[in-house]
């Protein structure tokens, strides 16, 4: 890709200060354990030409400040470039002493459908109306592609006759989300780090694109993957937290290291039992049916849906999707 100034403009100047900004970069960057606002890349040249040998799919703003005296007055020009191409996400993770590899390919324009161009406060994304959580649950081609790959990998490891509707496969999906999608580095202000807002609910494609997200973002993504893999699923909003949930016909308690400080969690709604799923772990130390003890209002479980619907807890099933 080559960006040039008109000869009539370029001939009047000697120095050209180029700024190249990825409009969909995370709002902050990490450097030596500090967080800085992303401001793009800059380059000072004596030629009015910017050459990009290996363009990457994305949307970019290109600015150039033109000088005769580098410390003097200058003229300023800018423009946006959209380069739509395939993006490949490479996933590598380990689960139950086996290594897994997955490549997912999608067009940048598919991601672009779900994200605003300008980082301005967005009421829909602010997380104030919990009932709108389901608006962010959209199963598209990329979600289905990830789901199909997870099924294929699971069958390859455990046999073609293995069940794809039980707790073990649900654990496998949950482990993939926990291991392959990270929490933003700025743990105190995760949405600000990623999107420049104190609170921001992300569509699954945004979480896939950035390969990171806070509890709401990864809960939405995980619930979509459960649904795409054939499970009934839900999102549960707790005070200060959000989790995914998956409906299972049978559940077996698994060993969880006591140091994890977790509790069993399930919710019965319309004769279906949904098991809570933490999606912000760094590993698969505990699976489906266990969440942090600090979010459980009863010592063991929440059984009455009225407590969720009328209190501070909110339950949002995804069963309506793709039906």
Does the pLDDT value for residue 311 go beyond 60? no
Q: Taking residues 170-193, what's their average pLDDT?
A: 96
Contact at 8 Å (CB) between 212 and 194? yes
Q: Provide the token pair at 208.
A: 């896939």
Note whether 147 and 247 are within 8 A (CB).
no
The alpha-carbon radius of gyration of the chain (Å, integer) is: 23
Residue 89 has pLDDT above 90, yes or no: yes
pLDDT(313) > 90: no
Architecture of domain 2-83: Sandwich (2.60)
Mean pLDDT computed over 69-80: 81
pTM: 0.89
* Closest to 225 measured CA to CA, from 161, 263, 175, 294: 175
- Residue 280: pLDDT above 90? yes
With H, G, I as helix, E, B as strand and everything else as coil, classify residue 189: coil
Ranking 28-37, 85-94, 266-275 by mean pLDDT, the lowest is: 266-275
Q: Cα separation of 279 and 283, whole Å?
A: 10
pLDDT tens for 230-279 read 999 998 888 788 999 999 999 998 888 777 788 888 888 888 889 999 99
> H helices within the chain, ranges in order?
7-10, 108-112, 141-158, 167-180, 190-195, 204-210, 215-228, 305-310
Which tens digit of pLDDT belongs to each residue from 115-163? 876 555 566 676 667 767 777 888 999 999 999 999 999 999 999 999 9
Termini Cα distance of the chain: 44
Phi, psi of 32 (to 5 degrees): 50, 45
Which pLDDT does position 295 carry in this prediction? 75
Of residues 150 and 53, which shows the higher confidence score? Answer: 150
Predicted confidence at residue 271, as pLDDT, reads 84
**Cβ pair 135, 124 in contact under 8 A:** yes
pLDDT band at 73 (very low <50, low <70, confident <90, very high): confident
Query: Lowest mean pLDDT: which of 81-90, 159-168, 222-231, 248-257?
Result: 248-257
Question: Which residues lie below 8 Å from residue 195, measured CB to CB, with a gap of 6+?
Answer: 26, 27, 119, 125, 202
Across 214-229, average pLDDT: 96
Domain ranges in the chain?
2-83, 86-317
User: Exposure string (b/e) for 252-262, b if CB count within 10 Å is 16 or more?
Assistant: eeeebeeeeeb
Maximum Cα–Cα distance across the chain:
75
pLDDT exceeds 80 at position 44: yes
Q: What number is the average pLDDT over the span 89-102?
A: 96
Residue whose C-alpha is closest to residue 208's, from 233, 228, 230, 188:
228
Q: What is the pLDDT at residue 127?
A: 64
Q: With 60 as the cut, is the pLDDT of residue 79 above it?
A: yes
pLDDT at 182 over 70: yes
More confident residue, 185 or 32: 185
**Mean model confidence pLDDT for the chain:** 85
Alpha carbons 202 and 196: distance in angstroms, whole number: 12
């Amino acid at each position: 890709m080559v960006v040039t100034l008109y000869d009539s403009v370029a001939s009047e100047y000697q120095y050209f200060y180029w700024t190249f900004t990825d409009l969909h970069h995370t709002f902050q960057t990490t450097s030596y354990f500090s967080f800085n606002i992303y401001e793009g890349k800059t380059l000072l040249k004596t030629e009015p030409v910017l050459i990009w040998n290996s363009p990457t799919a994305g949307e970019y703003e290109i600015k150039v400040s033109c000088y005769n005296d580098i410390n003097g007055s200058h003229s300023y020009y800018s423009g946006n470039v959209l380069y739509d191409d395939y993006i490949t996400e490479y996933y590598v993770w380990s689960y139950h002493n086996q290594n897994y590899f997955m490549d997912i390919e999608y067009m940048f324009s598919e991601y672009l459908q779900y994200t605003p161009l300008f980082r301005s406060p967005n009421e829909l994304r602010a997380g104030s109306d919990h009932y709108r959580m389901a608006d962010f649950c959209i199963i598209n081609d990329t979600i289905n592609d990830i789901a199909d790959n997870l099924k294929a990998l699971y069958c390859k490891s455990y046999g073609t006759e293995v069940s794809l509707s039980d707790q073990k496969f649900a654990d496998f999906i949950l482990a993939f989300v926990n291991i392959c999608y990270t929490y933003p580095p700025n743990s105190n202000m995760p949405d600000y780090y990623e999107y420049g807002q104190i609170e921001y609910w992300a569509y699954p494609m945004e979480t896939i694109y950035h390969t990171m997200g806070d509890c709401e973002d990864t809960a939405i993504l995980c619930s979509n993957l459960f649904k795409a893999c054939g499970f009934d699923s839900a999102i549960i909003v707790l005070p200060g937290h959000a989790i995914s949930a998956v409906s299972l016909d049978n559940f077996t308690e698994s060993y969880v290291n006591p140091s994890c400080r977790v509790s069993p969690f399930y919710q019965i709604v319309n004769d279906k039992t949904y098991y809570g799923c933490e999606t912000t772990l760094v590993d698969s130390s505990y699976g489906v049916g266990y969440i942090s003890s600090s979010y459980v209002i009863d010592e063991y479980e929440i059984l009455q849906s009225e407590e969720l619907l009328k209190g501070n807890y909110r339950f949002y099933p995804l069963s309506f999707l793709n039906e």
